[in-house]
Structure 1
C-alpha cells in the first residue's frame, strides 16, 4: 500500500476511504470525517464513539444498592441465557453505542434492512446485526401492561432492569435470511439463539446493576471501551489499529499485524498501537475455546512474536454469528467505539463453510469490499491485507507471491487442528513453539476427556 494519503470515490455519493494520513501532535489520533455540506475536516483526538458519546449502562456504584432493591421489587423476571448475557455485557460497556439497551422495533427493522440506524440529528451509524432479547408467549402474557422487567441470570440473580419496554413480533425467518443471506439449517448462531427462541422480542432501556464478570480467570483481559481508550492515551498512541480473531495466532497473523504497524510508521504515525481483540462470546463447537486461545496469545507475546509494548490484548465480549459481510460491519463498528481508527480485514472475514454444501458460504472478497462502502463506517480506515502463507524457500510465513505459487504452502485451520490433534509439529516458522504447545495441550485434553467419558460409560453399563 502506498504511503501517501488516498481518498477514492465510488460511483455512489459516498466516499470510500483507503488511507487517511496526516501528521498530528504527540498523543493524538488522526481522524478524517466527511460532511456532505462542509466537505472534509480533520481533528486530532481519539476517534469519537458512534453518536458522539460512549454509552455506559452500568449503574453508578453509589446507587447500586438502591437499584438492586428496586430490581427485586419488579414483579416480572426474564431469565437470560448465555448469549443474552453476552449481549447485556456488550450493551452495558458501550460497544454498541449509541444503543441504550435491547433494540425496539424501529431500531431492529433499520438494522435488518439498512445495516444502519438513523439518529435524531439525521446522522447515520452502522449497525448490521440485531441486538435483541427474545421472550415466549407465557412471558409476554405475564408482562401484560408493565413498563419494565428485571433480567436475571441462570440462577435467578438480578442482572439488569429493562425499562420503557416495547414488545413486538420476532420475525425469525426474515431475521435469519437477511442476516446470513440463507435460511439453510446448521447456522450455528441461528440454532443457538434464534430458531428455538421465543416468538416475541422485547426492547427497552438497560440499567445494568454492576459490571458483568465471568469469574473464569479472564476478567482481567476484559477491558471495556472506556478502559481501552484510557490505555491508548496512557501509551501515547497516535493511531490504533484493531485485529479481530477467533483462532490461535500463527506467524502469518503476526506478519499481518507487524506489517500494518510498519506501514503506519511509514505513513507518518509516530506510535501506532495494536488492539489484539479476540472474540470472547459464543463460538461454534469446533472453535478453540477462549481460555485456551488466551493462553496461546500470552505465549505469542512472551516469545516476542508481537511486541507487548505496542500491543494491547483485550477480549471482545460479543457472540459470533459467522455472518460474513454482514457481521464484519459489526466487528468494525464496535472497534470504533473502543477507540480504533484503523481496522485490519482479510480474506472471508466472519465467514464459514456452507452448513449443507461443500463450499464457502460467502465470497472471500466481499467482506473487505462491503466494509469500504458500508453506511456509518466512513470514519474508519479499512486496511485490507495480502494473503500470508508458508514460504518453503524461506522457512517462514510470508506474503503470497503468485509468480512463484509453487513455493507456498497454505496451512488451513482444519489442517492446523489436524496436526495439533495428532501431536505433529507444523513447519518451523509457522507458529512459535510455546504457542503451538498450548494448542497441542488443548486437543490432548479433549482426548483425555473423551477417554474418561468412555470409562464412565463402561462402569455404568457394568
Structure 2
C-alpha cells in the first residue's frame, strides 16, 4: 500500500470505530498504522465526539514480525515483489507516548491479552463484577418493618409486564440499576445507549421504566415513597419517586426505529400511561408466578453458584424465545466443540436461557417451550452440562438498539 492508502485506511477504520463506540460498544482495532499523524487523527476523530481513545503499542522487532509471518509477505517484500511494505520498504514511526505498551517479545498471547484487559478495567472501560450481583430485595431482618411502611404509602397498581420488570431489576439482571430509571438515566439510555455509573458508563440500550397515568401521578406526586401493588398485594417500595413525561413517539422511534402501532410493544407503549416514574426499588419478596415453572427461574447469583458447583471453567449462553430447532442445536454443539478443542476449556457449561416474560399471543407458550427444551436435553441432543434457566424479561421484538 502507498502512504496515502495507509492514511485513508486508518481514517476509515477510525470513523467506523467511532460509530460503534458512540453506540456504547467497546471497539478494538488492530492495524499496522505506521504513521504518527494518522494515529493522532484517529484519536482526534474520537475525542471530538467526547469518546475515549487509547493507543496501544503492540511491540515487536522487524525480525520477530518476520519470524511470525505465515503468509510470506516479508520475503516477498525483501525480493521487491511487494513495494512500500512497513519495516522493509516503508518506515514505521513507533508511538512516542502510547497509553499502553504490550511487548509481545516478552509476553505470550495470554499475558498480552491479560495486560489489555487489566488496562481497560483500570480505565473503567470494562465493568468490574464481584463474586455476586447486587439484588434489590429487602433484608429479611427488616422485612416486616418494610411491609408495614408500604401500607402507609400511596400505591400504584402494576401490570404483569411491570412486575416482570420488577423481577428483572430485583434479581440483578439489570445491575447496576437500583430501580426504574429516573429521567437522566432514561435520556442517557435513549440517546447514547449507556448509563453513567461510578465515574464511567455501561451499556444499556433498553429503557426500563414504569408508566403511570395522570391520576396516579396526581395522587402520588408529593409522596416520599410509593407502594407498588400487584393484584392488590404490595410487592415493592419505590423510594424518592421522580415523575417525568412519557414521550412515547420519541421512545418508540429511538428504541424500535418505528412508531407503528402494528408493532406489539409499540402498541403497548402507546396504551400505557402518559407519565413515567423512576426511583430506588426495594422488593419485598421473591417474584413467584406459581405456574409450575418457578424452579427454572434462577437468579444470576443462583446461576453463578450452580455453574461453580458443576465445575464450569466457561459458561456459554443461548437465549431464545422459540423451541430449539436444528439450527440452534448445531450452533450450540459447535460452540461447545470450539471451547473444548480450540480454546482449551475442560468443562464448558451451556446456559440455555429461554425468555420467560410476556410474548405476543401467537408465540409458542412458555410451558410448551420448557417441555420441548427438557425433551431435547433428555434425548441427548445437547450435552448434559447444561443449566436450563428462564430469563424473566418481557419480549421487545427487536429494533435497532436491542
TM-score by length of 2: 0.70
Aligned pair in 2 of structure 1 residues 228, 52: CA closer, same or farther (>3 Å)?
closer
Cα deviation for residue 282 of structure 1 reads: 0.9
Residue 54 of structure 1 corresponds to 133
Is 1:305 the counterpart of 2:381 in the alignment? Answer: yes
Q: Which residue of 1 aligns with 2:283?
A: 208
Gaps of 5+ in 2: 1-11, 19-25, 31-107
For 1:225 and 1:271, the matched residues in 2 are separated by 19
Match of 1:169?
Answer: 245
The question of whether the paired residues in 2 share the 8 Å contact of 1:110 and 1:116 is answered with: yes
Secondary structure at the counterpart of residue 146 of structure 1: coil
Corresponding residue of 2:213? 136
8 Å Cα contact 1:55/1:100 also seen in 2: no
CA deviations on 1:25-51 (whole Å, 9 max, x unpaired) are xxxxx9973646978999xxxx954x9
Q: Which residue of 2 aligns with 1:73?
A: 152
Mark the CA change 1:227 to 1:31 in structure 2 (over 3 Å): closer, same or farther. Answer: farther
Counterpart-to-counterpart distance in 1, 2:289 and 2:29: 38
Q: 2:226 and 2:258 mapped to 1: Cα distance?
A: 34
Question: Once superposed, which parts of structure 1, at least 4 consecutive aligned residues long, lie more than 3 Å away?
Answer: 21-24, 34-42
1:314-336 per-position Cα deviation (integer Å, ceiling 9, x unaligned)? 00000011124422xxxxxxxxx
- Contact 2:355/2:394 (<8 A) preserved: yes
SS at match of 1:206: strand
2:296 to 212, 221, 238: 221
3-state DSSP of counterpart to 2:205:
coil
CA distance in 1, matches of 2:136, 2:124: 33
Match of 1:33 in 2: 117
The within-5 A match list for 1:432-447 is: none
Q: CA deviation at 1:53?
A: 6.5
1:15 aligns with 2:27: yes
> What is the match of residue 430 of structure 1?
none
Q: CA separation in 2, counterparts of 1:283 and 1:251?
A: 22
Cα distance in 2 for partners of 1:40, 1:167 equals 31
- Name the counterpart of 1:434: none
Is residue 2:168 matched to residue 1:93?
A: no
Match of 1:246 among 321, 329, 350: 321
Distance in 2, matches of 1:112 and 1:124, equals 14
Query: Secondary structure in 1 aligned to 2:191?
Result: helix
Following superposition, the deviation at residue 265 of structure 1 comes to: 1.2
**What is the Cα deviation at residue 289 of structure 1?**
0.7
- Cα distance in structure 1, aligned partners of 2:274 and 2:205: 21
Cα gap change, 1:17 to 1:314, in 2 (>3 Å): farther
Greater relative CO (CA pairs within 8 A, separation 6+): 1
Change in CA separation of 1:187 and 1:41 when aligned onto 2, cut-off 3 Å? closer
Q: Tell me if the contact between 1:167 and 1:202 (Cα under 8 Å) persists in the aligned partners.
A: yes
Return the alpha-carbon distance in structure 2 between the equivalents of residues 68 and 31 of structure 1: 49
Q: CA deviation at 1:236?
A: 1.5
**Unaligned segments of structure 1, at least 5 residues:** 1-8, 25-29, 328-462
Count of matched residue positions in the alignment of Structure 1 and Structure 2: 302
1:428 equivalent in structure 2: none
State which structure, 1 or 2, has the greater radius of gyration over its C-alpha atoms: 2
Q: Which residue of 1 aligns with 2:184?
A: 106
User: Matched residue of 1:252: which SS?
Assistant: helix
Q: What is the deviation of 1:254? A: 1.0
- The alignment's TM-score, normalised by the length of structure 1, stands at 0.61
